[in-house]
Amino acid sequence: AQSVTQPDIHITVSEGASLELRCNYSYGATPYLFWYVQSPGQGLQLLLKYFSGDTLVQGIKGFEAEFKRSQSSFNLRKPSVHWSDAAEYFCAVGVEEYGNKLVFGAGTILRVKS
């Protein structure tokens, strides 16, 4: 069965420090991979996506992610975190079943300390 693992439930970083959020997926076919961000009480905003091609993808708000097939990973990075980046981040894989549904990880809550 398809699954997405985000091993870190909470991460705290200092403002200006670099950030890496981990994501591992399990899916038999070529994955469509996504990172979404959710501010408290809000919907999900798409940060970036990977379908094919260049394994390093750029997204909004200065985020990037790298697809590593050998490690089944799609980690999210940002070189310098801003206080406004505090939110919950979800990694997801798009699967062919059920109308091409998204299978989400449990999320990582990012706290930024000044």
Partner 1 sequence: SQTIHQWPATLVQPVGSPLSLECTVEGTSNPNLYWYRQAAGRGLQLLFYSVGIGQISSEVPQNLSASRPQDRQFILSSKKLLLSDSGFYLCAWRGTGPETQYFGPGTRLLVL
Q: Which residues bind partner 1 (CB under 8 A)?
A: 32, 34, 36, 41-46, 49, 51, 90, 94, 98-102, 104-107
Is 42 or 71 the residue whose CB approaches partner 1 more closely? 42
Considering the complex, what minimum distance in angstroms separates the CB of residue 104 from partner 1?
A: 4
Assigned token pair, 50: 């990977």
Is 45 or 80 the residue whose CB approaches partner 1 more closely? 45
Considering the complex, what minimum distance in angstroms separates the CB of residue 13 from partner 1?
A: 23
